Amino acid sequence: MSTNLYSRLSCDPSYKLVQLTPELLEALTSDEPQLQFKCFDEKRSDVVLCSARRTWLLRQKNHSNTVMLMREFLPEDEQTQEDSSLFGIPRPINDLLGYSRTTYEYETRATEGRINLDLVPIYNGEVNFPGESKLKGRTLKDVFDNSPSSETECKVRWYQLGGCVVNGCPCILSPDMLSNALHVTLMSALAESLDFDRLHPCETYEVVQKDVEKGRSPYVLEVVRTVLAKFGTPNDDETWKLNRRQVAQWYGVRALQKFASRHSVPLEEFLIKWKSTFPPFAGFDIDIKMLRGWFCEPTRGTVQYVSKDTLPVDVKDRFKMLFKLQSQWDLEAFAPFIEDLNTKGLKIDTFIMKYARKRRIGKKIVVCSR
C-alpha cells in the first residue's frame, strides 16, 4: 500500500499526545463523569488528570525523534505522477497530510488527590458561624471542584480532615471541636447502648441531643456525621462501624499533648492517664505502639510528645533533630517521622540508610546517627 505524504509548512501546535494506561482506558469507557485537567494555581503548581475516582500527576516525557501526526485528505490539485517518480513502488492509493509535530508525550503517574482548603474556615462551635467567611455561599461541591483531586478521593479525604458543613458552609472542625464532639458522641452512644458497629448518623444525633444542655448545641447532625465518617468505616446500609483503634489513637495523641508536652513522663503513668481520658466503661484497648510518629523516648521508659509542626522540612535537619531527641530508635518507631520525606518511594530502610546508620540488636533493628 502506497501513500503520498504532504505536510503543512507551519504545523498546528495545539495537538498533544497522552499515554492511555489501562486505568485511563477504563476511565474513558466508564459511565462516570469525564476526565479533567486540574491545577492548584496557574503559575507554580503541577497539572493533574482526574477521573471520578482517581488522580494522576501529568509528566512530560521529551524525546529526540520527529513525530508527525497525519490525516487522510484530498489534495486540491491532483497531479499525475510519472512512474519514474514512484521509485518502483505501487501507485499511491491515498494521500496523508501532516498537520502537527510533537517532541513529547504526556505520561500519567498515579498520585493522591489533595483538597484545596484555601478559604475553608475552621469551626470551633461559634454561635454565628460562618459570619463573614469568604466561603459563604459556596458549597462542598465547589470545594471539591476547586481541588486537584478526584471527587471520590475528595469525599474520603474531606472527612479524614474533619471536614463538615455547618449552616450551609463547608468548614473544618477544630481539633478541640472534634475531640469534644467525639467524646459526647461516645458517651451518648454508650448511655443508650447503641451498637458501635452500626451507628446511624440520625439515630446517633438524636441520642447526643438528649445529653447536651438545652439551648443551642454545637453538635448538629452534620458534626455527628463528620465524627462517624472520620472515626468509622461505612457499612452497606448508611451506618458506620466505629474504628476503635483510630479512636484510641486520637485520644492517645490528645493525651500526649496534654500530659507529655513540656516534660517526658514515665510510660506506665502515661498509659494510666491515657486510659482515664476515655468515657467511662468505653472499653477501648490501648498500646503505646499506636502512637508511633507522635512521641519519642528521651530516656528509657519515658515518653514525650513530638509535634509534627516542629519537624524540619529539610531531611538532614529532620534526622538530626530526631537523633537529638532520642539517640537510638527502633526502625518501626522512627519510620513514621520521616516517611513523608521519602518522595521517591524508596523502600523505607533504604531511604533511612541514606542519612543514618542501622544496627541489629538481637532480633530488633535500631537506627542511630552516622
Name the amino acid, one letter, at 199: L
In angstroms, rounded to a whole number, what is the distance separating the alpha carbons of residues 85 and 360?
A: 77
Which residue number, 24 or 221, has a Cβ lying nearer to another protein?
A: 24
Q: Which of 32, 55, 56, 60 binds another protein (CB under 8 A)?
A: 60
Q: How far is the CB of 142 from another protein (least distance, A)?
A: 10
Q: How far is the CB of 149 from another protein (least distance, A)?
A: 11
Q: Which of 46, 176, 238, 317 binds another protein (CB under 8 A)?
A: 46
Pick out residues in 281-320 that bind another protein (CB under 8 A): none
336 C-beta neighbours (distance < 10 Å), count:
14
Pick out residues in 124-153 that bind another protein (CB under 8 A): 145-148
275 φ/ψ angles, rounded to the nearest 5 degrees: -60, -35
Q: Among the residues of 192-330, which ranges form H helices?
A: 201-211, 221-230, 244-259, 267-276, 315-325
210-246 burial: b if 16+ Cβ within 10 Å, else e? eeeeeeeebbbebbbbbbbbbbbeeeeeebbbbebee
Site membership for another protein, residue 8 (CB under 8 A):
yes
Cell of 61: 516525557
Residues 6+ apart with CB under 8 A from 287: none
Of 147, 158, 156, residue with least CA distance to 36: 147
Site membership for another protein, residue 62 (CB under 8 A):
yes
Q: How far is the CB of 221 from another protein (least distance, A)?
A: 30
Q: Which of 80, 82, 83, 87 binds another protein (CB under 8 A)?
A: 87
Strands 302-305 and 265-266: antiparallel
Q: Which of 52, 53, 97, 331 binds another protein (CB under 8 A)?
A: 97
Which range, of 38-46, 239-247, 267-275, 277-285, touches another protein by CB under 8 A?
Answer: 38-46
Q: Which of 23, 32, 53, 107 binds another protein (CB under 8 A)?
A: 107
Q: How far is the CB of 33 from another protein (least distance, A)?
A: 8
Q: Which of 18, 122, 365, 368 binds another protein (CB under 8 A)?
A: 18
211 neighbors 219 (Cβ within 8 angstroms): no
Which range, of 31-39, 262-270, 326-334, 343-351, touches another protein by CB under 8 A?
Answer: 31-39
Site membership for another protein, residue 119 (CB under 8 A):
no
Which residue number, 154 or 189, has a Cβ lying nearer to another protein?
A: 154
Site membership for another protein, residue 73 (CB under 8 A):
yes
List Cα–Cα distances, 229 to 83, 161, 239, in angstroms: 76, 10, 10
Site membership for another protein, residue 23 (CB under 8 A):
no
Residues 6+ apart with CB under 8 A from 15: 69, 99, 100, 102
Residues 6+ apart with CB under 8 A from 22: none
Q: Which of 14, 80, 310, 343 binds another protein (CB under 8 A)?
A: 14
Which residue number, 62 or 193, has a Cβ lying nearer to another protein?
A: 62
Query: In which residue are the cell numbers 492509493 written?
Result: 93
